[in-house]
Structure 1
C-alpha cells in the first residue's frame, strides 16, 4: 500500500468536505430548520450520490464508460440551478418559521440531488480521483478503499456540523444560521451558473 499517497488522499478529502459547499450548507440549513433526524437523512442522501460518482469515475478509468465534457457542463449548470432553488426555498422557509408557519422539511432526496450535482464532488471524482488509484496494486481494492474512506470522512464531518447545530448557542441563532446558509447557497448557485454558462457559451 502506498501510505504517503493514502495520507495525501485523506488530506485532500478532509479539506474538500470540510470547506463549506452546497452539501454542508444544505445540512446546516436543514438541521436548523427541520432538526437532527432530517439533517442526517440529508447527509445520507448526499453520501449515496457520492457512491454513484465514485462508480462513474471507476467506470471511466476502467474504460467502460465515456462521459462527454459537454454533458458534464450541462449537468453542472442544472446542479447550480437546483442549488439556487434550495437557497431560495431556505430563505422562504426561514421567514415562514418566524411567522409561525411550519417549514417544509428536506431530506434524503434533496441530499442526493445536491450531492449528485455538487460541482466540488464532480470535479474531484472526474479530475482528481484518478491520481489516487495507485494507492494499492489492485484497481478494485483501490476503488473500494478510497470510496470507504470518502464515506467515513464525509459522514464524520457532516455529523460534526450537525452536532454543532445542537449546541445551545447555535439553537439561539437558528433562524440566522438558516438565513446565512440559504443565502450562501444562492451565492454558490449564482457563481456556479455564471461559470458553467461561460464555459458553454465560450
Structure 2
C-alpha cells in the first residue's frame, strides 16, 4: 500500500467532510433537538447513502458508462426540494421554541434518524460525479482497482462517521435551551440556502 498517498487521501477527506454542508447541518440539528442517539442514527443513514453513491461511482469508473447530465440535474432538483422541506420544518420548530427555558417549549417532532439521514445523504446524485472525479486520483494506493476501492471506501466511511460523531459530541457539551434554539436556527438557514442555491443551479442547467 502507498502510505503517503493514503495519508494524503485521508487528510483530504477529513477536510472535505468537516466543511459544513447539508449532512453536517442535519446531524448538528438532530443532536441539538433530539439527542445524541438519534443524531448517531442520522450519521449512520448518511454513511449508508455514501456507500451507495460510492458503489455507483465505482461501477461508472469500471464500466466507463456515461451519466446523463439532465437526469442528474432532475434528480438533484428533487433532492433540493427534500432538503428545503427539512429546512422549513427546522426553521418552523426553532421559531416556535421559546428562546429561554423559562417558558414551556412546544412538543418537538422527531428530527433526523436513519431514513432522513439516508435521504439527505443521497439527495444530490451529483455526488456520484464527485466520487468519479475524486477516487481515480488515489486509485494507485494498492496494486488492484478492487482493493483500492475497498480501502478508499472504508476510509471515507470511517472518517465521515468520526467527524460527524465529533460534531455530535461538541453539540452535547454546549447544549442548553438558548444554544439549541440558535443551533436549530443556523442549521435551518444553512439547509434552506443549500436547497435554494441547488434549485437555482439545477433549473438553470435543465433550461440551458
Q: TM-score, normalised by structure 2?
A: 0.89
Q: Give the drift of 1:151.
A: 0.6
Q: Does 1:135 align with 2:117?
A: no
Which structure: greater helix fraction?
1
CA contact (8 A) 2:57 2:129 kept: no
Q: Give the drift of 1:65.
A: 5.1
CA distance in 2, matches of 1:7, 1:119: 27
CA distance in 2, matches of 1:36, 1:120: 29
Deviates more, 1:140-149 or 1:89-98: 89-98
CA contact (8 A) 2:57 2:128 kept: no
CA contact (8 A) 1:53 1:122 kept: yes
Q: Give the drift of 1:83.
A: 1.0
**Change beyond 3 A, Cα 1:112–1:147:** same
CA contact (8 A) 1:33 1:94 kept: no
CA contact (8 A) 2:57 2:131 kept: yes
Runs of 4+ in 1 over 4 A off after TM superposition: none
Which stretches in structure 2 are left out of the alignment for 5+ residues? 99-103
Partner of 2:14: 14
Deviates more, 1:34-43 or 1:96-105: 96-105
Partner of 2:157: 151
Which stretches in structure 1 are left out of the alignment for 5+ residues? none
Higher Cα Rg, which structure? 2
Deviates more, 1:38-47 or 1:91-100: 91-100
Q: Give the drift of 1:173.
A: 0.7
How many residues align structurally? 201
CA contact (8 A) 1:115 1:121 kept: no
Q: Does 1:163 align with 2:169?
A: yes
CA contact (8 A) 2:54 2:128 kept: no
**Change beyond 3 A, Cα 1:71–1:130:** farther
Q: Give the drift of 1:75.
A: 1.6
Q: Give the drift of 1:2.
A: 2.5
Deviates more, 1:125-134 or 1:35-44: 125-134
**Change beyond 3 A, Cα 1:160–1:82:** same
Q: TM-score, normalised by structure 1?
A: 0.92
